[in-house]
Structure 1
Amino acid sequence: MTAMSDSGRFSSVDYEIHGSVQGVFFRQYTLDKAQSTGVVGWVMNTEAGTVKGTFQGTKFQVDEMKHFVSKVGSPMSQITRAVFTNERELVQKDYERFSVSGGDW
C-alpha cells in the first residue's frame, strides 16, 4: 500500500456537543445525516445536557459529520462548543450502523 492510498483505512472520532442540544431533535438530525453520509457509530444525550457519541467511516465522511454536529445540528439547536477526542485510524470499523442510544434526560 502506498502512502497516498486510503484503501482499507477508516477514521474514528468521539465527540461531545455543548449548548442547547437536547429536546430540539439534535440526535434525530444527527442520525439522519449519519445515515445519508454513510458513517457508523452512535449518539446519545448526557445528564450534563450535552450530546455525545462516536463517528466511524472514511476521513471525508467523519470530517463531514464533525462539521455537521459542530456547525449545523438541528434547526432549533444552538451549538456553543464541540469537543472532538480520541481521533484515530482504524483498519476495521467497530459498529455496523449508526444508532441513537438512550439518555433521555
Structure 2
Amino acid sequence: MFRYTEDQGKMLGVNGWVKNTRQGTVIGQVQGPRDKVEEMKHWLRYVGSPSSRIDRAEFTNQRDISKLEIRGFGTRY
C-alpha cells in the first residue's frame, strides 16, 4: 500500500515518511518546497493508493523550516 505513497513522494521530490498506526490511520511527515508539499497533501487527501479508503485527512503542526530535516521518502514500521 505504501509503495504508491513512496512513489508519489519521490516523484514530487519531497522528503518524509509515512506509517500505519494501530488505530487504522496513517501518520507521517512531508518536507520540501511549499508547492510540492501542497501537491502531496492534495494527493493524500483525494487520491491515495488504489486500495486505500480516505475518510478524512488532517494536517497538523505545519511550519516553515530553513533546512530539511529528513532525507528521502520512505515507510516506517
Q: Which residue of 2 aligns with 1:47?
A: 22
Larger Rg: 1
Greater strand proportion: 1
Counterpart residue number, 2:67: 92
**Deviation, structure 1 residue 32:** 0.4
Unaligned regions of 5+ residues in structure 2, if any? none
Once the two structures are TM-superposed, the CA of residue 96 in structure 1 deviates from its matched residue by: 1.1
- The alignment covers a number of residue pairs equal to 77
Once superposed, what is the RMSD of the aligned Cα atoms? 0.7
Q: Which has the higher helix share?
A: 2
State the 4+ residue runs in structure 1 displaced beyond 2 angstroms: none
Secondary structure of residue in 2 paired with 1:43: strand
Deviation at 1:99, TM superposition (A): 1.3
What SS class does the counterpart of residue 85 from structure 1 fall into?
coil
Q: Which runs of 5+ in 1 are unaligned?
A: 1-24
